[in-house]
Amino acid sequence: MTGFLQQVIEGLGAGAIYASLALALVLIYQFTGIVNFAQGELAMFSTYIAWQFTAAGLPFWLALALALAVSFAGGMLIERVVIRPVEGAPELTVVIVTVGLFIFVNAAAGWIWTFLIKDFPNPFPGGALEAGGLSVGYSTLGVLAVVGVVMGLLYLLFQHTKIGLGMRAVAANPASARLVGIRVGWMLALGWGLAATVGAVSGTLVAPLLFLEPNMMGGVLIYAFAAATLGGFDSPGGAVAGGLIVGVAETLAGAYVGFIGSDLKVGVPLVIILFVLLLRPQGLFGRAVVERA
C-alpha cells in the first residue's frame, strides 16, 4: 500500500508539470479555438531565457521573474505578428502556422544556445519529507505548490477582475464582445501572453528534472495534449485535473503493468487521448454546450 501511495505521489509530481503546459494550451484554445502546437517550444525558449539570466549571475527567482515577463511580452508579440494575419483563416491554416512556429522556435533555440544539454538549477532543495513510510521529495512538493499558485492566480484573474471578465466574454462570443466595446484583438494577445507565461513556468519546472536542450518539451507536449483532451480543452480546471490523472496513470502503468514498464509508458497518454475521444470527446470537465434557443 505504501508503495502504491508512493507511486501516486510521484505521478502527481509529474502530472503537475503536464498540467501546467496543458493549462497554457487551454488558455489559447479557449480564446482562439487554436491548438497551439508550438506551446512546448515556446516554454523551452522561455526556459533558455531564464537560464541565460542565471548564467549572467542573477539569483534564480529574479531570473525566473524576468523570464516570465519576457515570455508574456513575447507571447503577445507572437499573437500580433504571427497569428493575427491568419485570424479567421481555416483551422488547418492556423494549425500549420503553429507547427511552423514550433520548427522555427526549436531551430532558433538550437542556433542561439546550441543543441548541447545544459544544467538548469533546481530551485527546490534536494531531500524529501518523510512521513508514515512515504517519502515526498521537496522538489515534487515545490512543483505541486507552483502549479497550485499559478492556478489560483488565473482563477483570480478570470473570476474577479474586469479584464478577466472581458477575456471570458471574448472566449464566449467575440462578435458581441466587440459590440460592448472590448478590444478583442488585445484580449487575444493577452491570452497568448498569459499562455506563454504559464508555459514558461512549465518549462522551468521540467528543466531541472530533465536537462535543458531544445527538444526538452517534445514529450511533455504529448502528455499535455493528453491532459487537455482528458480534462476538456475548454476547461482550465479540467486541464489541471487531466494533467494530474495522466501523470498518475503513467506512473502506475509503468510500475504495475508488467509489459509496459518504463519503455512503453510513453504510450499511456496516447491511449488516454484515443479513449477520451472515443468515449467523451468534450473531456471530463469540458462543456457539451447546452443552450435554450
Q: How far is the CB of 235 from another protein (least distance, A)?
A: 11
Distance CA(196)–CA(291), nearest Å, equals 32
Q: How far is the CB of 173 from another protein (least distance, A)?
A: 5
Residue placing its CB nearer to another protein in the complex, 126 or 181: 181
> Is the CB of 93 or the CB of 176 nearer to another protein?
176
Residue 33 beta carbon to another protein: minimum distance, rounded to whole angstroms:
14
131 binds another protein (CB under 8 A): no
Between 102 and 233, CB nearer to another protein: 233
Please give the torsion angle defined by the CA atoms of residues 21, 25, 31 and 33, in that order, rounded to the nearest 10 degrees: -170
Minimum Å gap between C-beta 79 and another protein is 17
CA distance 113 to 91: 33
Rounded to whole angstroms, the Cα distance separating 137 from 148 reads 17
Of the candidates 151, 168, 284, 161, which has an alpha carbon nearest to the alpha carbon of residue 226? 284
Can you tell me which of 88, 92, 278, 292 binds another protein, judged by CB under 8 A? 292
- CB of 18 vs another protein, minimal distance in Å: 26
CB of 175 to another protein, least distance (A): 7
Task: Closer to another protein by CB, 49 or 188: give it.
Answer: 188
Region for 240 from its dihedrals, namely left if φ exceeds 0, alpha if ψ lies in -120 to 50, beta otherwise: alpha
Cell output for 208: 531541472
Please report, as residue ranges, which positions from 32 to 91 form the binding site for another protein (by CB under 8 A): none
Instruction: Supply the minimum distance, in Å, between the C-beta of residue 181 and another protein.
Output: 4
Q: How far is the CB of 171 from another protein (least distance, A)?
A: 8
Nearer to another protein, 170 or 248 (CB): 170
User: How far is residue 92's CA from residue 243's CA, in Å, rounded to a whole number?
Assistant: 26
Q: Which is nearer to another protein, 147 or 154 (CB)?
A: 154
H/E element, 236: helix 236-256
Backbone phi, psi, residue 134, to 5° = -95, 150
Determine the residue type at 31. F
Q: Are 17 and 206 in contact (CB under 8 A)?
A: yes
> Which of 227, 217, 195 is closest to 22 using CA atoms?
227
Q: Which is nearer to another protein, 76 or 144 (CB)?
A: 76
Residues binding another protein: number (CB under 8 A): 23
CB atoms within 10 A of CB 52: 17
Residues 227-286 that bind another protein (CB under 8 A): none
Distances in Å between the Cα of 144 and the Cα atoms of 11, 16, 105, 107, 128 are 11, 6, 28, 31, 14
Compare residues 130 and 292 and give the one whose CB is closer to another protein: 292
- Contact flags string 145-164 toward another protein, x per CB under 8 A: -----------------x--
Q: Copy the grid coordinates of residue 264.
A: 512503453
Site for another protein in 163-202 (CB under 8 A): 165-166, 168-169, 172-173, 175-184
The site for another protein (CB under 8 A) is made up of 162, 165-166, 168-169, 172-173, 175-184, 287, 289-293
